[in-house]
Amino acid sequence: MLLRRALSRTCRAKSLRLTGPAAVSSWQQLAPRTVAAQCQRTATPTTGFVSRRMASTAAAEAVAEEAAEAAEAAPTVPLTDADRQRLNFQRNIGVSAHIDSGKTTLTERILFYTGRIREIHEVRGRDSVGAKMDSMDLEREKGITIQSAATFCDWEATDAIDGSKQRYAINIIDTPGHVDFTIEVERALRVLDGAILVLCAVAGVQSQTTTVDRQMRRYGVPRISFVNKMDRPGANPWRIVQQIRSKLRIPAAAVQVPIGTEDQFRGVVDLVHWRAIYNEGHKGSDVVISQEIPAEVLELATQKRQELVEQLAEVDEEIGDLVLLDETPSNVQIAEAVRRSTIGLKFSPVFMGSAIKNTGIQPLLDGVCDYMPNPSEKEVLAIDMKNAATGTNTSASATPDVPLVPAAAAPLVGLAFKLEEGRFGQLTYMRVYQGTLKKSMQIWNVRTGKKVKVPRLVKMHSNEMEEVDAIGPGEICAMFGVECSSGDTFTDGTTQYSMTNMFVPDPVISLSIKPKGNETPNFSRALNRFQKEDPTFKVHIDHESKETIISGMGELHLEIYVERMRREYNTDCVTGKPRVAFRETITRRAEFTYTHKKQTGGAGQYAKVSGFIEPMEVDPETGKDIAFENVVMGGNIPSNFIPAIEKGFYEALEKGTLSGNAISGVRFVLKDGAFHAVDSSELAFRLAAIGAFREAFKLAAPIILEPVMTVEVVAPGEFQSQVIGGLNTRRGTIVDSEVRDDEFTAVAEVALNEMFGYSNQLRGSTQGKGEFSMEYKLHQPVLPNLQKDLEEAYRKTLPQVKK
């Protein structure tokens, strides 16, 4: 406890200073606001401990000073001692990583050691029960996680300094690794305060590790790295630490050293507190701590502790100063620095273990309590829609600037981050950011302005639920019977605070679908449900062919939904060939001046808009490459018509004129226009924007883009030339390759259009021993001959213009 109290105090004393190498600052550049805010937040006093343990006047003064500071930082409702006491022992963490790295297996151990489940069941285990968090039949059959699952548990953490025990409440979300289900990771990380990044001790940083890392940066999520599968032959945690530094560009260092290798792996040396930790007894439940470091790892441990201090010196001022003075930091100082720099997004401590062999999991849980932020240590900002609505800003363009405080007495603000349609109606997962959500309470949906009552409130334990009466701030829960969309914000009606939306990637693949035999209402019921639950799954009717088209993140994504229609809705379907989701964009700026005018008897329609469109790159922070800007001066267009023009622009983007695919990478700048007191309307301005955009689009040298994927292949070394050859024939560019003992990895960039049938080819050329994963990288212009073919094919589908 002393440790954690001291930590918060030291961070307050130190201002944030970037002392690290280029790698550090490049990591920070991605979330500078969050970093600064978090260090400031780390200052939040842990009065709960302080009042219990410090009696001196000086200490009391310090507490008062800290409370004053906290009140300043949180102008609304300040945290009370009771809030702090609760929040200090609350953690919300995600488990995220590449496919098959052992996230669900790890979570199963966490549930077992915390007493949430009585027995351990393995993913694809022989007992055919399956892991708790993979509750869907399809997940158990395929041995993969498809949906993220939430649970909660209590962990009695051991304080490393004084050995006291303290109970922590931990909410955990186990996420899928397959990139097809990436939205599940996205929304989990959107609402979590910290994460465990799991890595395989042999394969290390893989393609989806990089994706997950990007998602963590997007939401400023601090992460502990966990090198799992230490029991595997060829396990090498030091190579993985190196990869975290070089490939993910995060300063990282091991905080443990393994005792025994491969099948002899039996524990870890805790480098921070200089002690050995072994797992013994039934399923490793007995944690044996010894102050004696085994002789065979003593030298390595000494060297790795030194490396840890050196890494910390790069990112932490206090350790940096000590190292400069040639002083050796104490255990407490090292622990403080690890926590400070992890929460400050400057460092990732690396833990190691083997989930399957039940080794090293309890120390990881202690690490979550020691080094992950509590909910008050992560800055959360909301948009005040009252302000946003009065300006010309829409919710999409407003910047969040209202800090939320996880005080139980503050006005409620919660985010619905995930929906599930269940037998008892809609289940809505909520993260409560401030205030208290109570059963039977009236809450307001900020987007729709509708008031609803909360009929039932539950805490999720995978697919089971536990009824609760109230949920405090900083917690995760689910509500039953509240209709809403994913991403909606709820308040108690006293504020109009709205949380920003999460990043939703565009679908890359689509296919036509129709029910076998006659269409029943179940067909559209299922599609509606899936679409509501999953924002990366889209359904539309192709007006030319009249087919129902479903689009998603990959073949597996769509395959799972087709299978779920059969199982859950009794609807067998026939699907067409998967097709790539092409896009259109512009390559140069084009001006527009467009008047929409119509006179049909009564009131006419009149709207004039002028401005320009220009190419736009993806904004690395928001992931957006479409923007609407309004710079109209002097009221030439009344501000109430501006949203209609924005709407028209977005409508025009839905279908490009070259190939009928959606348009992206465009900024629309509205400079001027004119209106008529009687004939102007929202409709007229919307149509004017569409007309203006279409005209300008033709002049802006439009092109067709195709999705290019990062493909990662892992196969035994002897097949290397066949695999590389196969990727080359698909016009792939090899960007990275690595040969390990008897296995190699090749990473290539290949157009998705060239990837159909690759799994069969790979199986054939590697005797079934090769595996691959694929992730969307970017859209690139198609080759001229393909552009010609696509344009021609699209022209043929259009109604013929009479001569």
Ligand X SMILES: Nc1nc2c(ncn2[C@@H]2O[C@H](COP(=O)(O)OP(=O)(O)OP(=O)(O)O)[C@@H](O)[C@H]2O)c(=O)[nH]1
List interacting residues with ligand X (CB under 6 A): 97, 99-105, 122-124, 144-145, 176-178, 228-229, 231-232, 354-356
| DSSP three-state, residue 544 | coil
- Please indicate if the annotation marks 231 as binding a ligand: yes
Contacts 24+ apart (CB under 8 A), 18-21: 19/314, 19/315, 19/316, 19/317, 19/320, 20/251, 20/314, 20/315, 20/346, 21/314
Instruction: Give dist(CA 176, CA 184) in Å, integer.
Output: 7
355 binds, among Mg ion, ligand X, none (CB under 5 to 8 A by kind): ligand X
Q: Which is nearer to ligand X, 102 or 414 (CB)?
A: 102
The distance of closest approach from Cβ of residue 356 to Mg ion in the complex, given in angstroms and rounded to an integer, is 13
Instruction: Give dist(CA 580, CA 610) in Å, integer.
Output: 35
The distance of closest approach from Cβ of residue 296 to ligand X in the complex, given in angstroms and rounded to an integer, is 22
384 binds, among ligand X, Mg ion, none (CB under 5 to 8 A by kind): none
- Please indicate if the annotation marks 178 as binding a ligand: yes
- Please indicate if the annotation marks 174 as binding a ligand: yes
Instruction: Give the total of residues touching Mg ion (CB under 5 A).
Output: 3
Instruction: Give dist(CA 229, CA 561) in Å, integer.
Output: 31
In sequence order, the 6+-apart residues with CB closer than 8 A to the CB of 729 are none
100 binds, among ligand X, Mg ion, none (CB under 5 to 8 A by kind): ligand X
354 binds, among Mg ion, ligand X, none (CB under 5 to 8 A by kind): ligand X
749 binds, among Mg ion, ligand X, none (CB under 5 to 8 A by kind): none
Q: What's the angle, vertex CA 35, arms to CA 331 and CA 372, rounded to 5?
A: 45
**Binding of Mg ion by 104 (CB under 5 A):** yes
The distance of closest approach from Cβ of residue 147 to ligand X in the complex, given in angstroms and rounded to an integer, is 10
Contacts 24+ apart (CB under 8 A), 115-122: 115/153, 115/154, 116/151, 116/153, 116/461, 120/283, 120/358, 122/356
Residue in the shown chain whose Cβ atom is closest to ligand X: 177
Q: Which is nearer to Mg ion, 46 or 225 (CB)?
A: 225
- Please indicate if the annotation marks 103 as binding a ligand: yes
Q: Which is nearer to ligand X, 99 or 337 (CB)?
A: 99
Q: What's the angle, vertex CA 721, arms to CA 719 and CA 723, rounded to 5?
A: 70
The distance of closest approach from Cβ of residue 165 to Mg ion in the complex, given in angstroms and rounded to an integer, is 30
The distance of closest approach from Cβ of residue 102 to ligand X in the complex, given in angstroms and rounded to an integer, is 3
- Please indicate if the annotation marks 104 as binding a ligand: yes
The residues with which 746 forms a beta bridge, in sequence order, are 713, 737
The distance of closest approach from Cβ of residue 105 to Mg ion in the complex, given in angstroms and rounded to an integer, is 8
Q: Which is nearer to Mg ion, 149 or 690 (CB)?
A: 149
Q: In this structure, are residues 61 and 395 in contact, taking their beta carbons and an 8 Å threshold? A: no
663 binds, among ligand X, Mg ion, none (CB under 5 to 8 A by kind): none
Q: In this structure, are residues 516 and 522 in contact, taking their beta carbons and an 8 Å threshold? A: no
The distance of closest approach from Cβ of residue 213 to Mg ion in the complex, given in angstroms and rounded to an integer, is 18
| DSSP three-state, residue 211 | helix
Q: What's the angle, vertex CA 231, arms to CA 225 and CA 233, rounded to 5?
A: 110
Q: In this structure, are residues 129 and 141 in contact, taking their beta carbons and an 8 Å threshold? A: no
For the chain, how many residues are written?
A: 803
The amino acid present at 59, given as its one-letter code, is A
**Binding of Mg ion by 428 (CB under 5 A):** no
Q: How far, CA to CA in Å, does 122 sit from each of 136, 362, 685?
A: 14, 18, 59
Sheet holding 267-270, edge to edge: 256-259, 267-270, 275-280, 286-290
In sequence order, the 6+-apart residues with CB closer than 8 A to the CB of 313 are 319, 320, 322, 323
The distance of closest approach from Cβ of residue 143 to ligand X in the complex, given in angstroms and rounded to an integer, is 6
157 binds, among Mg ion, ligand X, none (CB under 5 to 8 A by kind): none
The distance of closest approach from Cβ of residue 692 to Mg ion in the complex, given in angstroms and rounded to an integer, is 48
232 binds, among Mg ion, ligand X, none (CB under 5 to 8 A by kind): ligand X
- Please indicate if the annotation marks 532 as binding a ligand: no
Q: In this structure, are residues 490 and 457 in contact, taking their beta carbons and an 8 Å threshold? A: no
Name the DSSP letter for residue 494: S
Q: x/- site string to Mg ion, residues 132 to 151, per CB under 5 A? A: -------------x------
Q: Which is nearer to Mg ion, 88 or 145 (CB)?
A: 145
Neighbours of 26 (CB within 10 A): 11
Q: Where are the alpha helices (DSSP H) in 700-747?
A: 720-729
229 binds, among ligand X, Mg ion, none (CB under 5 to 8 A by kind): ligand X
Q: Which is nearer to Mg ion, 104 or 491 (CB)?
A: 104
**Binding of Mg ion by 103 (CB under 5 A):** yes
The distance of closest approach from Cβ of residue 462 to Mg ion in the complex, given in angstroms and rounded to an integer, is 12
Q: Which is nearer to ligand X, 126 or 796 (CB)?
A: 126
- Please indicate if the annotation marks 177 as binding a ligand: yes
- Please indicate if the annotation marks 99 as binding a ligand: yes
- Please indicate if the annotation marks 45 as binding a ligand: no
Q: Which is nearer to ligand X, 143 or 623 (CB)?
A: 143
The distance of closest approach from Cβ of residue 70 to ligand X in the complex, given in angstroms and rounded to an integer, is 39
The residues with which 197 forms a beta bridge, in sequence order, are 96, 225
Q: Which is nearer to ligand X, 147 or 428 (CB)?
A: 147
Q: Which is nearer to ligand X, 268 or 511 (CB)?
A: 268
Q: What's the angle, vertex CA 195, arms to CA 191 and CA 201, rounded to 5?
A: 150
The distance of closest approach from Cβ of residue 115 to Mg ion in the complex, given in angstroms and rounded to an integer, is 21
228 binds, among Mg ion, ligand X, none (CB under 5 to 8 A by kind): ligand X
122 binds, among ligand X, Mg ion, none (CB under 5 to 8 A by kind): ligand X
In sequence order, the 6+-apart residues with CB closer than 8 A to the CB of 510 are 538, 549, 550, 551, 552, 558, 578, 579, 580, 581
The distance of closest approach from Cβ of residue 94 to ligand X in the complex, given in angstroms and rounded to an integer, is 12
Burial grade of 143 (CB within 10 A; 0-12, 13-18, 19 or more): middle
Q: Which is nearer to Mg ion, 145 or 342 (CB)?
A: 145
314 binds, among ligand X, Mg ion, none (CB under 5 to 8 A by kind): none
Q: Which is nearer to ligand X, 99 or 404 (CB)?
A: 99
- Please indicate if the annotation marks 135 as binding a ligand: no
The distance of closest approach from Cβ of residue 126 to ligand X in the complex, given in angstroms and rounded to an integer, is 11
In sequence order, the 6+-apart residues with CB closer than 8 A to the CB of 474 are 86, 87, 90, 92, 193, 374, 375, 376, 406, 432, 433
Q: How far, CA to CA in Å, does 745 sit from each of 241, 473, 708, 738, 767?
A: 18, 45, 19, 5, 16
Query: Two tokens at 417?
Result: 């981050």
Q: Which is nearer to ligand X, 46 or 354 (CB)?
A: 354
Q: Which is nearer to ligand X, 136 or 705 (CB)?
A: 136
- Please indicate if the annotation marks 230 as binding a ligand: yes
Q: In this structure, are residues 115 and 285 in contact, taking their beta carbons and an 8 Å threshold? A: no
- Please indicate if the annotation marks 100 as binding a ligand: yes
Name the DSSP letter for residue 641: G
150 binds, among Mg ion, ligand X, none (CB under 5 to 8 A by kind): none
Task: Give the count of alpha carbons within 13 A of 585, CB side only.
Answer: 22
Instruction: Give dist(CA 330, CA 319) in Å, integer.
Output: 10
What does the binding site for Mg ion look like in residue numbers (CB under 5 A)? 103-104, 145
Binding positions for GTP are 97-104, 174-178, 228-231
Binding positions are 97-104, 174-178, 228-231
